[in-house]
Amino acid sequence: MYVSLWNQPNSLLSQFELLRRELDEAFGVSGLPNSIRSVTAGTLPAINVGRTLNSVEVYVFAPGLDASKVDVTLDRGVLRISGERASGIPESDKSVQIYTRERLAGGFSRTVSLPDDVDPGQVNASYRDGVLQVSIALRESAQPKRITVQ
């Protein structure tokens, strides 16, 4: 395999990428999504959406959440996942100096537009090891059917 210069922590390319992100943050440049189905770089929590033969699977990568404070709703084909992550930094202690903050804290909300053939009555959500998995079953009519040739 080859070694990517983007993944080297102190390489010139990674320093340029860090500079670009800091300039975007400083000047309020929101950036543009990489594709029609993606969102702006840095949108958190990160999600993966895929489809199996029987369901649509959504994985939300959000470590450090309290599962009881995560809200998952499905309304008219739109899946909404929202919650809040505590910062873990004592706000009242003035002696604490923060030099960098890479782990975002606070409220979040992500929405995913689902296909028309999902069954809103068959939704399962589970949170384990920092990953929220939401599985939405497809309607029986959307399942592939084997047709016998006469």
In a domain, 21, yes or no: yes
Q: Which residues of 14-37 are buried (b: 16+ CB within 10 A; e: fewer)?
A: eeeeeeeeeeeeeeeeeeeeeeee
54-98 pLDDT per residue, tens: 999 999 998 888 888 899 999 999 999 998 887 777 767 777 777
In a domain, 149, yes or no: no
pTM score, whole prediction: 0.65
What is the average pLDDT across 111-129?
Answer: 92
Q: Which domain holds residue 72?
A: 35-142
69-79 pLDDT per residue, tens: 899 999 999 99
In a domain, 148, yes or no: no
pLDDT at 25 over 60: yes
Beta strands 106-113 and 78-85, pairing class? antiparallel
What is the average pLDDT across 21-48?
Answer: 65
In a domain, 147, yes or no: no
47 and 63 share one domain? yes
Q: How many whole angstroms separate alpha carbon 85 and alpha carbon 66? A: 8
68 and 1 share one domain? no
47 and 117 share one domain? yes
